[in-house]
Amino acid sequence: QAKKVSDSIMRSLYEKIFNWIVARINTNVTCSKREISSSIGILDIYGFEIFEVNAFEQLCINYVNEKLQQLFISQTLESEQEGYRREGLSWQNIKFFNNQVVCDLIEDPKTHGIFPLLDEQCAIARLSDLELIERYNSEHSKNPHYIASRVRGPNFGIVHYAGKVEYDVTLFFDANVDTFFNDLQSGMEHSTNAFVREVFLDTRTKQQTLKRPPSTSQQFRTQVADLLKKLDGCNPHYIRCIKPNENKRPLAVNKDIVTEQVRYLGLVENLSVRRQGFCYSQPYGPFIKRYSFLSKATWPAPAAHSTRKAAVDLLTTSGLGVKDPEKNDELVPFEEDSKTLGCFSLGRNKIFLRHPQALSALEILREERIPDIVNIIENAWRRYQNRRSLSVFSAASIQLFAAYDAVWTNCQDRRKRVPGASDKTRVAKLYATWEAVSAKLLVVDASRMVKNLAKEEELNSILFAQSFVQARTQRRTFLTLKRAQIVFSKRYRGLKTRKELANDMWKSCKVALLGVRTEFERYMGKKKRRRNSLDRMYEGDYIGVNKYPAYAAILQTHAEGRGGKAGSARAQKEKLLFLAPVEKVNERFAHQSRVLMISESRIFNLKADKIQQPKERRVFELSRLTAVAMSTQPDNYLILRVKGEVDLMVQVSQKTEVVQALRARVKKAHGRELVVEFSDSLDFYAAKGKQMTVKFAFDRALKDSEWSKVDRHTMLIKVGII
């Protein structure tokens, strides 16, 4: 059962992914409805499958081939012969094998077909192979296309149009029953994989989930019905592939195999219908519409009272016929129901041509006649365009003279001071009409009145532009004065407020205004500062010693080692000055992640791959610190020089805070000033007896600092605009 459930999940997952891929491809290549006027599709069918053991899959495949063969019969042999009889043509019926009886044997529920009986047995949960065979034998033993097995076993046979096939029903039940139940669907919907949840999204209604899931045969028959419905609405062209031999050898033709394929594909009957039938048929209306200009009797309009009579008049026109190549291209006229190349027949609604040479002759004559028809259409179109242009210009000239007379009369009336002639609304309306009408004729551009109007418009534009520039200049001046007034007002109120403060608060405000917060910041004037660090608050602890007690334990251990007993006041007074993650530079200029911890008496270089588990790498007394060295650029590198030991070079974002804390503690604890070196070329003693050089350079193109190794003893650090 577990294996069946696993197989069911895999089949369903494969189906969902396949449908998802198909939907994505169709979405990306689909066209809008306006672009789809006609389309071409290709349906490739491999054909019948006959193996030593034929299972449920072979039955489904052979069922599809039976349905397609039945469609081929209905669309070619049946429909074409029925079309001839429907049109009233004399026709000798050609017999052929109709495989509808085989399709009914497999699918018809009324006659208890193969698939319906299988679904019935699955529905009542009677999954016995022998019982299924007994049902098949009892229902179809009299059917000539059903073959019951001679021995007792899970086998039966069907006489398909392509031959006899024996099927084994051993795995019919497993293949037909969908074991992907609702609980599996619910489980896949709650998968941790987002894609699986998407493809298994259940869009069924609650009522649909309560129904029994359709069997495989039901789904297959539904899909086949949809396919046949689409094919039935198309105009199909069939390409039949004949297999010459069973050994896949080139240039080897087995006559028996080829003959058998030609027989069961119905090609002999199809060829007979084609030979006795007509190569071309068309309703009278479209036929007249396509070839009407080949005869004066139908061009430009048919003289006959019906399209049938017009088609006869067209084909029987003098000089219209088919050239016979066997008689030195002698012209054979079109004749009704004759045995010549020009034979045609008249149906109730269609006209029929028997020989393809007749259709070819009509198409050749049509191609030769088309250039003359094109000339006629072009001449008619030019006449229409000229008449239309003439009417447009005639109407425009009448409007032009009327508008000109109105403007000229208005000028005369204003000169004579006629009351109402100087009304601005009236004058504007007259000139608007004049401009609209005069734009239709290019000759008016040279008139004096139009030029005068253009000059007036230009003058108005200049005056408007001057007033706009003057107003803009005044506004800018006003806004500048307004901003200056705001600044002066703020400065005055600030000065007035500070004068009323006490002396200590006044000094604090003065220090803040100058941007000088501490004594060390005045000293740091030799080094460029980063813009985002000018007003940064000093925190000291950037990791959280209370959150990670391992750091406090290291401090306490070293405090007790100095002579303080565990728990004594001396051991507990060891204060933390600075704690933050840094990058240490080693003797190969490699940058290593470390933690820098500074207490009142020691400096710790800690390795903390896990922030909660620090390990000591180097510890030295604060009293042995002789100097700190930095560059003049806005970088974060800092070198600590230790007496009798190698230097410690780190890259720390809080370098200002570190140096300030060290200077203050050294001065308080040891009574001396800590030396601070500033240079863009610093010596770095990374190991005993090994002197190295660190050079700094400014690079405007960079937004940060980057380092590179020049040689074994030199490192170059480029600093950008930070």
| CB neighbour list of residue 663: distance below 8 Å, 6 or more residues apart | 520, 673, 674, 676
> Among residues 331, 358, 379, which one ends one of the domains?
379
- Read off the pTM: 0.47
Residues 194 and 282 in one domain: no
* 681 pLDDT more than 90: yes
* 531 pLDDT more than 80: no
Residues 30-50 have a mean pLDDT of 75
Residues 203 and 296 in one domain: no
Q: Which pLDDT value is given to residue 210?
A: 63
Amino acid at 180: F
Q: For residues 90 and 483, which has the higher predicted lDDT (pLDDT)? A: 483
Q: Is residue 603 part of a domain?
A: yes
Least confident of 87-91, 256-260, 615-619: 87-91
Residues 205 and 351 in one domain: no
* 627 pLDDT more than 90: yes
Are 686 and 647 spatial neighbours (Cβ–Cβ below 8 Å)? yes
Residues 78-90 have a mean pLDDT of 75
User: What band does 454 get if pLDDT is binned at 50, 70 and 90?
Assistant: low
What distance lies between CA 131 and its chain's CA centroid?
53
Are 292 and 298 spatial neighbours (Cβ–Cβ below 8 Å)? yes
Q: Is residue 465 part of a domain?
A: no
Q: Is residue 133 part of a domain?
A: no
Are 225 and 107 spatial neighbours (Cβ–Cβ below 8 Å)? no
Cα separation, 401 vs 447, whole angstroms: 13
Q: From the CA atom positions of the chain, what is the Rg in Å? A: 51
- Please compute, for residue 112, the number of CA atoms within 13 A of its CA located in the half-sphere on the CB side: 15
Q: For residues 213 and 523, which has the higher predicted lDDT (pLDDT)? A: 213
Q: For residues 80 and 163, which has the higher predicted lDDT (pLDDT)? A: 163
Residues 207 and 344 in one domain: no
Q: Is residue 235 part of a domain?
A: no
Residues 186 and 297 in one domain: no
* 166 pLDDT more than 90: yes
CATH of residue 560:
2.30.29.30
Question: pLDDT tens-digit profile of 588-607?
Answer: 999 999 999 999 999 999 99
Residues 620 and 709 in one domain: yes
Q: For residues 38 and 365, which has the higher predicted lDDT (pLDDT)? A: 365
Residues 194 and 334 in one domain: no
pLDDT above 90 covers a percentage of the chain that reads 25
Burial class (CB in 10 A: 0-12, 13-18, 19+), 334: buried
Cα separation, 581 vs 542, whole angstroms: 8
Q: For residues 515 and 601, which has the higher predicted lDDT (pLDDT)? A: 601
Residues 560 and 662 in one domain: yes
Residues 230-254 have a mean pLDDT of 87
Cα separation, 66 vs 48, whole angstroms: 9
Are 715 and 686 spatial neighbours (Cβ–Cβ below 8 Å)? no
Side by side, the strands of the sheet bearing 675-678 are 615-621, 602-607, 591-599, 576-585, 648-651, 637-642, 625-630, 675-678
User: What band does 149 get if pLDDT is binned at 50, 70 and 90?
Assistant: confident
* 631 pLDDT more than 60: yes
* 330 pLDDT more than 70: yes
Q: Which pLDDT value is given to residue 481?
A: 92
Q: Which pLDDT value is given to residue 176?
A: 84
Q: Which pLDDT value is given to residue 410?
A: 74
Q: Which pLDDT value is given to residue 617?
A: 92
Q: Is residue 496 part of a domain?
A: no
Least confident of 167-176, 506-515, 604-613, 642-651: 506-515
Q: How many domains does the chain have?
A: 3
> Among residues 379, 396, 417, which one ends one of the domains?
379
* 610 pLDDT more than 70: yes
Q: Which pLDDT value is given to residue 460?
A: 46
Q: Is residue 466 part of a domain?
A: no
Q: Is residue 592 part of a domain?
A: yes
Q: Is residue 124 part of a domain?
A: no
SS3 content of the chain, % helix, strand, coil (to 5): 50, 15, 35
Q: Which pLDDT value is given to residue 582?
A: 94
Q: Which pLDDT value is given to residue 92?
A: 66
Are 95 and 81 spatial neighbours (Cβ–Cβ below 8 Å)? no
> Among residues 190, 212, 234, which one ends one of the domains?
212
Q: What would the DSSP string read from start to end of 595-643?
A: EEEEESSEEEEEE-SSTTS-EEEEEEEGGGEEEEEE-SSS--EEEEEET
Q: Which pLDDT value is given to residue 514?
A: 55
Nearest to 298 by CA among 314, 284, 285, 312: 314
Least confident of 248-257, 264-273, 627-636: 264-273
Segments forming the whole domain that contains residue 324: 278-379
Residues 192 and 291 in one domain: no
Least confident of 34-43, 464-473, 542-551: 34-43
Residues 324 and 208 in one domain: no
Question: pLDDT tens-digit profile of 634-659?
Answer: 889 999 999 989 999 999 988 888 99
Cα separation, 284 vs 346, whole angstroms: 9
What are the C-alpha distances in Å from 331 to residues 295, 336, 611? Answer: 17, 16, 104
Residues 706 and 618 in one domain: yes
Question: pLDDT tens-digit profile of 558-590?
Answer: 887 755 554 555 545 678 999 999 999 998 999
* 409 pLDDT more than 80: no
* 442 pLDDT more than 60: no
Q: Which pLDDT value is given to residue 303?
A: 83
Residues 198 and 293 in one domain: no
Average of per-residue pLDDT values in the chain: 83
CATH of residue 321:
3.30.70.1590
Q: Which pLDDT value is given to residue 145?
A: 92
Q: Which pLDDT value is given to residue 334?
A: 85
* 616 pLDDT more than 50: yes
User: What band does 629 get if pLDDT is binned at 50, 70 and 90?
Assistant: very high
